[in-house]
Every structure is written in C-alpha cells, then in structure tokens.
Structure 1
Amino acid sequence: MSAKPVAVVLLNWNGWADTIECLETLLRSDYPDFRVIVCDNASSDGSLDKIAAWADGQLEAGGAEGFQRLRASPLGKPVAYQRLNATQALQASAHDVPLTLIDTGGNLGFAGGNNVGLRHAMASGRYAYYWLLNNDTVIEPDALRRLVARMEAEPQAGIGGSTLRHYYASQVVQVAGGSSYNPWRCRAVPLAANQPAAEPLDAAAIEQRMAYVAGASMMVSDAFLRDIGLMAEDYFLYFEEFDWACRAAGRYRLVYAPDSLVYHKEGGSIGTGARGKLSATALYYLQHNRLKFTRRFFPARLPLLYFSMLLELGRAALRRDFFEIKWSLVALLGLPPRGLSNRKRQA
C-alpha cells in the first residue's frame, strides 16, 4: 500500500533560525510522501528571506550539538520552493515542490496563521493528513511515519499527537500526546509532564485521559478537517486545540503515537519556557482564553473558574508577583490589553 500524502504546516513569527533547524530535520523524514508549508505571520526580522536563503544553500542551520545526529544524512541544496502571498495561497498550487513559503499578510495568531496553510493544502485535494508542527521543534526521522501509522490504525481517529520531549533536556518528557482536563480548577494538566523518557508510557491509558492533543505536534485527518472545520481564530493564542477537540467530541477520537518523538523548545516566539517565566502576552491570553473557552463549552463551571483564578491571584500576591497579578486582572476584568509585550521575565 502506498503512503498517504501529508501536508506539514509550520507557523513562523520572528523565528527563522528555529524554523530552519526544524526544516533540516523535517526534510530528512523517512516518510515517502509529504510537502512542507511555512506560514509567516508578518515577521519583522526578514524571516521569509532568511528561510529562502537557507533553501538556496546560502545560509547554514544552527542548533544544539546534541541534535547533530538528526542532520547526519545528506540534505541536498538547493531545496525547491515557491513563495506565495495570502491571496495566492487561497488557490491550489500550480507547482509541486517540497517547500512552500507563505506570507500570511499579518500577525493572525496561532490558529489564523496555521489556517492559511491548511486552506492552501486543502485546495489541492490531494492530502489525507495535515500535520501542524511547531517551528521550534526538531524531529526524529520516523516521527511522521509513526504518527501516520497510529492515525491509520484507528478508523475514527481525528486528531493525533506525538511524544514531546524537552529540547534542552531531551531525556525528559514534556508532554505525552496532550493534556487531561481538571473540571474543578478548569485547568489542563499535561500528561506525563517531566517524566524521565526511560520510563514506559501507557499509550492506551494516555489516550483515555487526553482531553486534547498538544498543538506543538498535532495531526488531523482530511475527513476531520472537512467535517469539523478549521481552528477557531478568535482565541489568537492558547486553547485552539482544546476547542477543536470539543467540537469533534463523540464523532472523532484522539489518538497518541508514543514512538513519534518531537523535541520542543516551547514558547520561543511568545516568551515562555523553561528558561524564563511567562511574558505579558502569554499570561494575558492564557487567562483570557480560559474564560472564553469555559464560557463556550462549560458555562456551568464559570463560578469554579472565577474561584480558581482568585486563589491564583492570592498566591501571586503572597509571592509579590505584581506582573502576574496585573495581566491576570486585565484578563479577568475584560480590560483592553494595552502594552502587551513578549519580553520574558527572568525566573
């Protein structure tokens, strides 16, 4: 049986160095039939020009020494590519090339930027699966193949996830597949977070607990996408994948491919991750969208959410974390988020 074609969508925003490192491993994938679409959300750092220069063989990729093995096999340059604007991307491509670079025309957020790539891929009518992969990742050569295999094994599979490991601590699990959901605190709980990678993962138990698949590596089927629709764009950042899963509940299954390994830096564009605390942008949208999501899908739990958020504000006050208090209150009170910044606070 021939491999089913896959469109891989990467979203870039002022992160060309991460995107190039990701492409270096992605294009070495052992899966026989896939194309890559990079969607750029109006970067101010010349990202598309830098990525095009890399594809032309004029710019080298960087990255941690520990992942040099993922780039050991030859990758011929130049890599054939095409560049499209947002209007051109609405049409099926006239050229079948390994790499497509799309200028989305603005900072459309996570869902909006990825949806540009999804629309472009769907217009061709040739893809069975679409893999949304964060640009701040590197992958094992068989990660795509193993993820497709898990989707193929489950007839009702709508969304599939990988094992995400920490890029800066590659023997530690960041999240296995996705997250469960605590209805009492209205909070998502990443599955197997910070578990040593050597410990076994119970894939069946993880699938039973998953409320949604982590957006850093999220594969959807063509049937799912045409039935359920694209990601909701009104979140801008956070909760889009949970919204997607809730819209599909009872019609499609969430699946997990434990041997599909993806190493994730986490939050390079928005100011999150192990090396710093949440930025204003991350804090605001995390809290704002907790409220929006709960109102949309679990309105009866809003009192629990307000109570939980007040407890969190109390803990922040005890820590004298006035930065967190400010942006949590802005979100909680529905105030205009003026002065948002991606600048990280030091841990």
Structure 2
Amino acid sequence: MIAVIIVTWNSAGDLIECLESLSRLQHESFCVIICDNDSRDGTREKLFQWIDHRLDAPMNGTAWSSIRTATRRNLKAGSAEISLESRSVYWCPLGTNAGFAAANNVGMAKAFADPSVSAAWLLNSDTIVDPDALSSLEAFSNQQLRPGLTGSMLLYYDDPDTVQACGGKYSLLTHKGREVGNGLTAGSVDSTIGSHDIDYVVGASMLVSRPFYETVGPMCEEYFLYFEEMDWSLRSAGRFDIAFTSQSVVYHKEGGSIGTKGRGRPGDASIYYMNRAMLRFSQIHKPLSLVTALGRVVARGTRYLAARDRAGAKAVVSAVVDWARGERAVRPMPSGGDQ
C-alpha cells in the first residue's frame, strides 16, 4: 500500500479539490493521511462534509478537463484504532503550525509504522493529480536500481500544457538554483530531459521509498519551509536514485500552499522563508560558501528596495535577522505579508 501524505494549513478549498482528484486515482491500494498544521478555516469540518457527500469540490480549473471523466471511487473516513486501510482518509492534527518537514515527518512515522506500506507519496494540498499519477510513479520507482525519491512532472494548474518543474538543480558554491524543465511543453520533456538529470525532487509530489526513509531518516526540520528536498537528497549521499518520471502528471497551483498567487512576485511569507532557509541550508551543508549565500540574499533585498517594494525588502531583512538569531519556527509576517 502507498500512503499519501498531505500537509495542510488553512487551505480547505485546495485540500478538498486535491482529494476529489485522488478519488479518481487508478490505483488499487492507497490511503491518505492529512497532517494539519493547526488550521483555523474549518478544514476538518469541510473535509468530513466532503467525505459524507455534503460538500462538493470545486472542479473549475482547466486541468480538470483530463481528470473529471475518470471513474470516481469514494474515499472513506479511516479509524485511528485500526491499521491503515486502502481508500481511507486519516485526520492527523498537529495542534500547532510545525512547518512542512515536521508535519510530513508525523505522517511518515504513522505510515511506515504499518508494515503494509511500501512507500509514502508526499503531495501538496494545492495540487490535483492525473488518474494514473500514482501508478506511474510507483512503477517507475520500482524500476530503479536503488529506489529513493521519485518525482512527478509538475504542470501549471492554470496552464496545464506547460511544465512548472520536473525537479531541481542547485549549486552549493554559487547558491543559484533552477527548476528543471520550467516553461517546456509537456510533450517535449522526454526528448529534452533525462529522468535522472536533477539534483532533487520537488516536494509538491515526491514518492519516498521505505528503504530510503529507514536509511536516510526523516526530513530535516531545521528549515520550517523550503530546502527540505535538497537537504534530503544531499543526505542520501548517492545511496539512492533521485529521479522523476513524466508519466506521473500532477497539476500545481504554484505557491498556493504559502499564499503566493500565480507566477509573479512571491508572497512576503515565501520571500521570508525562502531566504531564511537558504542561509540555514548553506550553514549546514557548505559553511565556506555562507558569504556567497548572504550576498545573494542582500542583493535580493536591494532589488526590492530599488523597486520601492518595502514589504519585500522588509521580509528579506527579517529573514536575515531571524536566521542570525537561530530562529527555526513560524513567525508572524511583517505588515503587508500574506500570512
């Protein structure tokens, strides 16, 4: 069985839409574990309304055109008192906003405690999935010599023929990164990118094998948000395959889980956590390049100032100050932020 783990925070609408797409998966054995980071928008109530057919999921996006006709099979509420069951949904409240990694770690601990679970599929709440997404992901992972982390081809939810990412590349020397495949048409990926031509799998859709989890360990909780996937890949130290398959298609509302809308300027919260995490990532994995990382962060803040974007500049300054203080947890955003 595959355990699908979804972290959510005040994103009830996105979560219900994601689950609606999961109900159309052509996979015989999966369960869903929802790890809630202390949502205050009625997520739990709306979840069970949807399970009980008292709430309809929105299916208005263009990406639904290839999904809505697939056969729908109901998901049911799972019981915490019994072992994980296929096509069951388990509610796992954390009681606090513990961050992306910590919440996923809670879900993976619950999943892998069940010996019938062979892998965990970490999936963002702001995604919808193709009916064959999980079957293709599992099949490709099982073909690898050392199955570790396997990603999907992420397409834009609002532009489903265009690739958001097939994975990522990142240099610890320059602290420059990029999303592999960004902007390509979906049909051109196989002739352009090799399945192993990535440094890390994007966390919006990532299949984690049991051997990887038991050998490398859970996600690092030092970042709160961002850079967890890169950290995990580096810690695997070449012992496992890190790859993606274009046959597993997931549509992503880029930035939806952190409040960023569309493909323009990131939200203030995203700016803050991205820069804070990058400094911590450098500090852990390449301290000699910390000056370079700090220079890139300062340059970003300067660009926001030059553009008279005071909120963006303030988010960058807050990120540097809190990183220097050793801050690891959630924090209230500066005025004008999106959280």
TM-score using structure 1 length: 0.88
Equivalent of 2:57 in 53, 56, 61: 61
Which residue in 1 is equivalent to 2:124? 134
1:279 equivalent to 2:267? Answer yes
Aligned to 1:112: 102
Per the TM alignment, residue 332 of structure 1 is displaced from its structure 2 partner at its CA by 2.0
How far the C-alpha of 1:131 sits from its partner, in A, is 0.5
The equivalent residue for 1:165 is: 155
Query: Alpha carbons of 1:341 and 1:22: their partners in 2 closer, same or farther (altered >3 Å)?
Result: farther
Q: Can you give the 5+ residue segments of structure 1 that lack an aligned partner in the other structure?
A: none
Alpha-carbon spacing, 1:263–1:291, altered in 2? closer, same or farther (3 Å):
same
Structure 1's 74 and 250: CA in aligned 2 closer, same or farther, altered over 3 A? closer
The letter for the 1-side match of 2:57 is A
Structure 1 residue 96 displacement after superposition: 5.8
Q: Does 1:199 align with 2:188?
A: yes
Paired residues of 2:30 and 2:87 also in contact (CA < 8 A): no
Q: How does 1:185-334 map to 2 (within 5 A)?
A: 185-202=174-191, 205=194, 207-208=196-197, 210-274=198-262, 277-333=265-321, 334=324
Q: 1:342 to 1:239 in 2, by over 3 A?
A: farther
**Displacement, 1:203?**
7.1
| 1-structure distance, mates of 2:97, 2:132 | 32
Comparing 306-315 with 296-305, greater Cα deviation is found at: 306-315
SS at match of 2:271: helix
Q: Is the 8 A contact 2:254 2:263 kept in 1?
A: no
SS at match of 1:158: strand
| Change beyond 3 A, Cα 1:110–1:38 | same
Q: How many residues of Structure 1 are paired with residues of Structure 2 in the alignment?
A: 332
Greater mean alpha carbon deviation, residues 64-73 or residues 226-235: 64-73
Give SS of 1:251's match: coil
Letter in 2 for 1:179: G
What is the letter of the counterpart of residue 213 of structure 1?
A: V
Q: How much does 1:307 deviate?
A: 2.4
Q: 3-state DSSP class of the match of 1:213? A: coil
Helix, strand or coil for the counterpart of 1:125? coil
Q: Report SS of the residue matched to 2:41.
A: coil
Q: Which amino acid counterpart does residue 164 of structure 2 have in structure 1?
A: Q
Q: CA shift at 1:63, angstroms? A: 2.6
User: Please, which runs of 5 or more residues in structure 2 have no aligned partner?
Assistant: none
Give TM-score, length-normalised by structure 2: 0.90
| Backbone CA RMSD of aligned residues | 2.3
Give the 3-state SS of the residue equivalent to 1:114 in structure 2: helix
Corresponding letter in the other structure for 2:235: R
Q: Specify the alignment match of 1:100 in structure 2.
A: 90
Hey, what's the Cα distance between the residues in 1 that align with 2:57 and 2:331? 36
Question: Does the CA-based 8 Å contact 1:279-1:343 persist in structure 2?
Answer: no
Distance 1:165 1:341, change over 3 A: farther
